[in-house]
Amino acid sequence: MNDICHKKRDLVEKLGVFIEQKDSLAPVAARILSYIILTGKVGTTFEDLVTQLCASKSTISTHLNHLSDLKRIEYFTKAGDRKKYYIINRDSILQHIDEMITTWNVQKNLHSEIKDYKESVNNLPETEEKDMFDLTFHINYLEFLAEATSSISNLKEKLKNNPKL
C-alpha cells in the first residue's frame, strides 16, 4: 500500500504540472484536480486534500471554490456523513472534448483553405515546377485531424453512454 501512496503522490505532482501549464491553473488548484482525478469516484474530502497536499485550509478552500466555479469538480455527500466528497465533473470532460473538436475543425478548415490556395498557385501556367508548393504536409495533417476528430467523437459517445467510465 505504501508503494501505491508514493506512486499516487508522484503522479499528483506530474499530472499537476501538466494541468497547471495546459489549463493555466494555479499550482495548488492543479494539484487538487490531479489528486481528485487519481482518487476516482470514491471522492476525496477537504481534510484529505489539506493533509495530502500539505496546504493550508484557506488555500485548499479557495482553490476548491475556484475549481467548482469552473465546473471542473463537483461533490456528493453520504448519508449520515457531513463531509463533501469531491470528484471530477463528467460534464467538464465532455466539454473539453467538444473544445478539442471545435479547435480541430477550425484547423481543418484553415489547412484546407491553405491547401486549396497552394494548389491554385501550383496550377497557374506561370508557376514553374521548382516553385510549386509541396502539399504533402497539408494532406497528411488534414487526414490526421479527420481521424483524430472521429476518434475523440467516438470516445465522447462512449462516455455519454456509459456513466461508469
- Report whether pLDDT(125) > 80: yes
How many C-beta atoms lie closer than 10 Å to residue 72's C-beta? 22
| Burial tier of 65 (Cβ tally within 10 Å: 0-12, 13-18, 19+) | exposed
pLDDT tens-digit map of 67-111? 999 999 999 999 999 999 999 998 888 988 999 999 999 999 999
Q: What is the DSSP letter of 41?
A: G
- Pairs from 65-73 (Cβ < 8 Å, separation ≥ 24): 66/26, 66/29, 67/29, 67/32, 67/33, 71/95, 72/33, 73/32, 73/33, 73/36
pLDDT score at 165 = 58
Q: How far is CA 117 from CA 33, 57, 102, 133, 158, in A?
A: 44, 57, 23, 10, 38
Mean pLDDT of 114-118: 97
pLDDT score at 47 = 95
Say how many Å lie between the first and final Cα of the chain, rounded.
24
Mean pLDDT of 1-11: 84
pLDDT score at 89 = 92
pTM: 0.75
Residue in 155, 22, 24, 55 with CA at minimum distance from that of residue 35: 55
pLDDT score at 5 = 85
Mean pLDDT of 3-19: 91
User: What are 36's three cell numbers?
Assistant: 481528485
